[in-house]
Structure 1
Amino acid sequence: MNSIQMQIAENLRNIRKLRGYSYDQLANVTGVSKGMLSQIEKGESSPTVNTLWKIANGLQVSFSSLVEESVPTVSVVRLGEKEPLTEDNELYQVFPYFPFDSSKQFEIYYIELLPGCVHTSSRHHGHIEEYVLICEGEATLTINADKYILQKGDAMKFIANHTHTYANDTMQKSSLYLIIYYS
């Protein structure tokens, strides 16, 4: 069995089990015989593109969700292996940890604010929430004209539809996690 055939078998099996479908139920929603579905899941048959489209449409999933490699159940991100994006004379350093995933609607960053950093972010369009968790040091967030001083262990959330500023007014590095949620 080739690797794409194995991937299709695994993905179909996972989707069917997640939905709690029997082969009869799966055959009913896809229009593909239960014998063929069973063979595909066991890796005994290599389905045609047309058959895969029938399955995808019946399950109301993307075609690629049947053929893509599954996402690992564990992902480890090591700060030392990440290259930061920098702004404001490198006083603002952003480490992308988990990029946006449309199925989850959020992304996660680790950010370092070096002493003297003042980083202004333009307002975001739509209903976007930012969640900030301070890891070390102190950060001042300004949203509109309101200032919030957060220290290690503090957290806040806000709707990011206004210009907002992240600043480090101290002489020590500050770090934080930023979760951006797209509702």
Structure 2
Amino acid sequence: MKEIHDIVAHNLKMYRTDNGLTLDNVSRRTGVSKTMLSQIERGDSIPSITTVWKIANGLKISFTALIKSPDQKVDIKKKSELLEMTGDDGRYRLYPFYPFESGHPFEMYQFEIEPGGVYAAEAHQAGTEEYIMIYQGMLNLKVQNEDYQIGSDMSIRFDADVPHVYTNIGDGILRGTMTIYYLEQML
């Protein structure tokens, strides 16, 4: 299985060249420096989840468009076989179970957050919704200035076109699923 930074490198470069974009164009759209983009495309840098989201949002493409292996055609998936994305010094882990595919306007991930771990997500494109279901632990989800506590066997849906922050406020690991739904016009 390819390393995640090699897949992101390939997908970013393919998208950029297929759309006639320069590194400067991509940098202006995403807020990620040309130097960092160049390092990512060469596979010299492992981008953070936040950086991949910035690139996806700036280019108006799905997160999975950047992390999906071109040869990933699997019907049954095991977490142990998926590419693990990390943030907050490894205290936040994201597993892409069902990446975005043409004709399917959603992505589904499993996530884990260690006690005290935080993941601050940038606003997604207008019209994007997130559906979160918690299986273990206690999540504090901040959407704009409102805090919501979601525990085991609970779920929440929210408009994700605003910044939002996931925090594990429990004593143990937090586990849940995240489904990101995109409007048809964004596909």
Percent identity reads 29
SS in 2 for 1:89: helix
Query: 1:125/1:83 Cα in 2 relative to 1: closer, same or farther (>3 Å)?
Result: closer
* AA of the residue aligned to 1:114: E
Once the two structures are superposed, the pairs formed by residues 16-95 of structure 1 within 5 Å of their partners are 75-95=75-95
Asked whether 1:179 is paired with 2:171, we answer: no
Corresponding residue number in structure 1 for 2:98: 98
Deviation for aligned residue 1:101: 1.3
* AA of the residue aligned to 2:79: L
Question: Which of the two has higher C-alpha Rg?
Answer: 1
Question: With structure 1 as the length reference, what TM-score do the two structures score?
Answer: 0.58
Deviation for aligned residue 1:104: 1.1
Gaps of 5+ in 2: 1-71
Deviation for aligned residue 1:168: 0.3
Corresponding residue number in structure 1 for 2:120: 120
* AA of the residue aligned to 2:126: G
* AA of the residue aligned to 2:146: D
Deviation for aligned residue 1:82: 2.1
Q: Aligned-pair RMSD on alpha carbons?
A: 1.6
Corresponding residue number in structure 2 for 1:131: 131
* AA of the residue aligned to 1:140: N
Deviation for aligned residue 1:83: 3.2
Question: With structure 2 as the length reference, what TM-score do the two structures score?
Answer: 0.57
SS in 1 for 2:172: coil
Deviation for aligned residue 1:81: 2.0
How far, CA to CA, are the matches of 1:104 and 1:130 in structure 2? 15
The number of aligned residues is 112
How far, CA to CA, are the matches of 1:115 and 1:172 in structure 2? 6
* AA of the residue aligned to 1:130: E
How far, CA to CA, are the matches of 1:96 and 1:123 in structure 2? 19
Gaps of 5+ in 1: 1-70
How far, CA to CA, are the matches of 2:179 and 2:102 in structure 1? 14
How far, CA to CA, are the matches of 2:83 and 2:180 in structure 1? 20
Deviation for aligned residue 1:77: 1.1
How far, CA to CA, are the matches of 2:77 and 2:88 in structure 1? 25
